[in-house]
Structure 1
Amino acid sequence: MTRVHDMGGRHGDGAVIPEPQGMVPVGANWQRSALALTLAAGGLGAWSIDTSRHAREKLSPKDYARFSYYEKWIAALADLLAEAGLVTEAELSAGTASAAAPHPKLFTADKVAPALARGTPYTRASDIDPAFAPGDRVRTRLPARNAFVPGGHTRLPAYAAGQTGTVILTHGAHVFPDTNAHRMGECPEPLYTVAFAAADLWGVAEAEGDEVTLDLWQSYLEPA
């Protein structure tokens, strides 16, 4: 079963309205603070990006549906901080930290630009040989689910499960989100970009020849 965030192809959620720059703009001060706080807390090293994505997915459906983009970030961050023991529920309620000493990995302002410039690469060495090459026809796993944790994080969307597409790019081995989100190890495996005919996924395409491309890990795929 999928979670509320897996909305692709679902009826009743209204039109998709693209933002001018292709992302949610950071406008009001609280939105800027939400972004900064999320990055700073991630710098403490208590969780991975996959864990943080799953925290947003786990928000209750009623909250996920009514929260704005950065409200989802803040709600998930509060859950992560509490689960990691970095803050208490009392501190969250009061809005004030009770500890006098800062965290030893405090992400100060002078560290922000260098950290963002470095980025966080997720390519890894792997002993798993690539099974596919550009031009290969592949079929995605059905159902789209985490094979290790019931209801766990996965990057295979439900609308693409059981569908046939064509490998168009190979990216080497990358950290596997289905395990990394749950602190089960990085378990790197080959990653591919796979193209699907939009008409195959949606039943009808907006224009002839439209495609949907997805970055998918090897264990999501089988030869078609």
Structure 2
Amino acid sequence: MTRVHDMGGRFGDGAIVPETENAPVFHEDWHARALALTLAAGGLGQWNIDISRHARECLPPIDYARFSYYEKWMAGLAGLLVDTGVVTRAELAEGIGQGESVLTDKRLKAENVAGVLASGGPADRPSDIPVAFKPADQVRTRKITGNRLVDGGHTRLPLYAAGAVGRIVRIHGTHILPDSSAHRLGDGAESLYAVAFAASELWANPEHPKDEVVLDLWQSYLEPA
């Protein structure tokens, strides 16, 4: 199926214009607040990063196409807050909570923010699945890039790399599989690889055919070439 957010390498979306070195981190004051609110809400422990990514991907295509970056974040967050029962739809619409939340003790306090951000969110996990590839091995990505566990579900295998042949550059260890984690199906941890693809393998008329694109891909996305 076509995924509205899967825009990498798609023709017709215009050139990417890099920002200058001195460009501000946030172009609007509310952008910083959107980031802060998203991190604070995530600290309540009701979802993980893969669930939050999938929430943005599930926005109606017309909204996804017209929303700015942080508008997508806020729309996805609003859906998560309601879907998980953190707030009701009425509370969200009115901007006023009704009574004290059972999650009050989990709120992220200002004095704890730096420590929480510094600790990060490690995604490496043990796995019983044997490592299938080693550096320099030739591999091919799946031709069908969709989530194999959930129809229309989240995946980190981009459409532009479907069926492409590359080589293993590095093994990152075993990490949570987003295809599973995004749907509360468990960690599903498996080996994660850095895979290099020639530009000529990914696109019909690359400007620089000898350039390489390196993607981090999970083992279940790959097969021997």
Fold conserved (TM > 0.5)? yes
Deviation at 1:202, TM superposition (A): 1.1
Deviation string for 1:21-58 (max 9, x for gaps)?
6x993232211110000000011110010000001111
Identity of aligned residues (%): 59
Deviation at 1:200, TM superposition (A): 1.3
Partners of 1:130 and 1:66 lie apart in 2 by 42
Partners of 1:134 and 1:153 lie apart in 2 by 27
Aligned to 2:73: 73
Please say if residues 2 and 151 of structure 1, whose CA atoms lie closer than 8 Å, have aligned partners that are also in contact.
no
Partners of 2:69 and 2:20 lie apart in 1 by 15
Letter in 2 for 1:64: Y
Letter in 2 for 1:19: E
Aligned to 1:197: 198
Correspondence 1:149-164 to 2 at 5 A:
149-164=150-165
Partners of 1:58 and 1:172 lie apart in 2 by 30
Deviation at 1:100, TM superposition (A): 3.6
Structure 1's unaligned 5+ residue stretches are none
Deviation at 1:208, TM superposition (A): 4.2
- In the superposition, the TM-score normalised over structure 2's length comes to 0.95
Please say if residues 198 and 209 of structure 2, whose CA atoms lie closer than 8 Å, have aligned partners that are also in contact.
no
Deviation at 1:145, TM superposition (A): 0.6
Structure 2's unaligned 5+ residue stretches are none
Letter in 2 for 1:120: G
Deviation string for 1:73-108 (max 9, x for gaps)?
000000000000001111111122222456220111
Letter in 1 for 2:59: L
Deviation at 1:128, TM superposition (A): 1.0
Partners of 2:189 and 2:84 lie apart in 1 by 25
Correspondence 1:116-155 to 2 at 5 A:
116-155=117-156
Please say if residues 146 and 154 of structure 1, whose CA atoms lie closer than 8 Å, have aligned partners that are also in contact.
yes
Structure 1 residues 61 and 28: alpha-carbon distance in aligned structure 2, compared to 1, 3 A threshold: same
Please say if residues 2 and 145 of structure 1, whose CA atoms lie closer than 8 Å, have aligned partners that are also in contact.
no
SS of the residue corresponding to residue 104 of structure 1 reads: helix
Letter in 1 for 2:78: A
- In the superposition, the TM-score normalised over structure 1's length comes to 0.95
Equivalenced residue count is 223
Cα RMSD for the two superposed structures: 1.5
Please say if residues 3 and 58 of structure 1, whose CA atoms lie closer than 8 Å, have aligned partners that are also in contact.
no
Correspondence 1:1-224 to 2 at 5 A:
1-20=1-20, 25-100=25-100, 103-224=104-225
- Runs of 4 or more, structure 1, over 3 Å off, are none
Partners of 1:120 and 1:58 lie apart in 2 by 23
